[in-house]
Structure 1
Amino acid sequence: MTQVLRKVVTFEEFVAKYPDNTGKRYELHDGVVVEMPQPTGDHEGIILFLATKITLEYSQLSLPYGIPKTVLVKPPENESAYSPDVLILNLPNLVNEPLWKKESTVTQPASIPLVVEVVSTNWRDDYHKKYADYEEMGIPEYWIVDYAALGGREFIGKPKQPTILVCTLEEGEYQINKFRGNDRIQSLLFPELNLTVQQIFEAGGAIMS
């Protein structure tokens, strides 16, 4: 379960104190410091696989992108700061980011072509809060990778099925496409990406039902 550590924290206070020396990961959700659950091996395996494949894709296309290790995404309108599982940065736009040099934080959709969250026990954050904030920020593409079928039935069906949701911004709102099994992921950012849901989940060691 997600553990709430403390309330009413500003973004400036958060970046000054965290990460601490415990090795734990934290995010800031509307002024609340949240300790992120320890990821499983399947979770980390999927992140590694996706980061590798996406890196190859943007490298082949000669796009000026990069995948950082510990960059925060901050919605400008609230005291939140997220640490996505996979974050694609548009490197040329970082010079326009006011929080980049001192806090390694991005706030502008022009800096964030794609963000990926791999769902864990705090799945409501990915499907509700982060979805709403990423959409409001104008991030063009957001993937929700639910390999363990943890999300609500309204998102992944009944009975629940392991699903990848690709949310693409159209006229300020996300349009959701759902992919399962041998479906090939359809990405507007990487239209030639040749990956199926099965390949992604199996690469992480996850067992699909």
Structure 2
Amino acid sequence: MTQALPKTKLVTFEEFVQWKPDGGRYELHDGVIVEMTQPTGPHENIIGFLALEISVDIKRLNLPYFIPKTALVKPPENEAGYSPDVLLINRSNLINEPFWEKQSTVSQSDSIPCVIEVVSTNWRTDYYTKRGMYEEIGIQEYWIVDYLALAGKSFIGNSKQPTISIYSLVEGEYQVSQFRGSDQIISTIFPELNLTAEQIFQAGNTTR
């Protein structure tokens, strides 16, 4: 669930990062500052699990990637700034990023191999808005982890099962592959990642 803060006017990205307090989690959506509500425990369990599994592969393969804590993603032609649940950054391109040094923000596809969003009640933002913006930036891979099957049937099917949708960039447009249950996750960024959809979903199960 997201809540727009009371503002009398739209703000630019520069105004947003100057205003943004240290506490809390905020995003900028088309000039509107949005406060992100505190995620649930299962939501955080999945984020932590994925960050750990991906970090192990980064280290094992000696890749120039890291996962920051609070960095933002800015679409180049939009007054927006997103705070993904898991953001993979290619440190070798940070020298070319105009917003990195002072604002810990990336905006170029060469800096962002992959973004992961774990779905909460604002699922439309993940499936509609962010998918379009991440495609526009040219991010190679975008994961949507819908562990509660919250999205509409047009996105995850009539059976409404927990689903991981991985959008891969092909000739400038996203093509989606979906994974459920015992399906092995297939990632172009991490082709050797040994995970099933169910393993990811079970990370959010605090009673396991």
What's the TM-score once normalised by structure 2's chain length? 0.96
Spell out, residue by residue over 1:88-135, the C-alpha distance to the aligned partner (whole angstroms, 9 max, x if none): 000110011011001010000000000000000111110000000000
Q: Which residue in the other structure is 1:141 paired with?
A: 141
Spell out, residue by residue over 1:6-64, the C-alpha distance to the aligned partner (whole angstroms, 9 max, x if none): 340110110011135xx321100000001112200010000000000000011111111
Q: How does 1:1-209 map to 2 (within 5 A)?
A: 1-5=1-5, 6=7, 7-20=9-22, 23-205=23-205
Spell out, residue by residue over 1:130-160, the C-alpha distance to the aligned partner (whole angstroms, 9 max, x if none): 0000001100000000001111110111121
8 A contact 1:180–1:198 mirrored in 2: yes
Structure 1 residue 206: deviation in Å? 6.7
Structure 1 residue 203: deviation in Å? 1.5
8 A contact 1:109–1:137 mirrored in 2: yes
8 A contact 1:123–1:151 mirrored in 2: yes
Spell out, residue by residue over 1:151-207, the C-alpha distance to the aligned partner (whole angstroms, 9 max, x if none): 111011112110000100000000000000000100001111000011011112178
Cα distance in structure 2, aligned partners of 1:206 and 1:62: 32
What's the TM-score once normalised by structure 1's chain length? 0.95
8 A contact 1:116–1:143 mirrored in 2: yes
CA RMSD, aligned part only?
Answer: 1.4
Cα distance in structure 1, aligned partners of 2:179 and 2:98: 36
Cα distance in structure 2, aligned partners of 1:2 and 1:90: 29
Structure 1 residue 2: deviation in Å? 1.9
| Letter of the structure 2 residue corresponding to residue 13 of structure 1 | E
Q: 5+ residue gaps in structure 1?
A: none
Cα distance in structure 2, aligned partners of 1:75 and 1:19: 21
SS at match of 1:127: helix
Cα distance in structure 1, aligned partners of 2:205 and 2:11: 37
8 A contact 1:45–1:203 mirrored in 2: yes
Q: Which moves more between the two structures, 195-204 or 78-87?
A: 195-204
Percent sequence identity over aligned pairs: 65
Q: Which moves more between the two structures, 114-123 or 197-206?
A: 197-206
SS at match of 1:181: coil
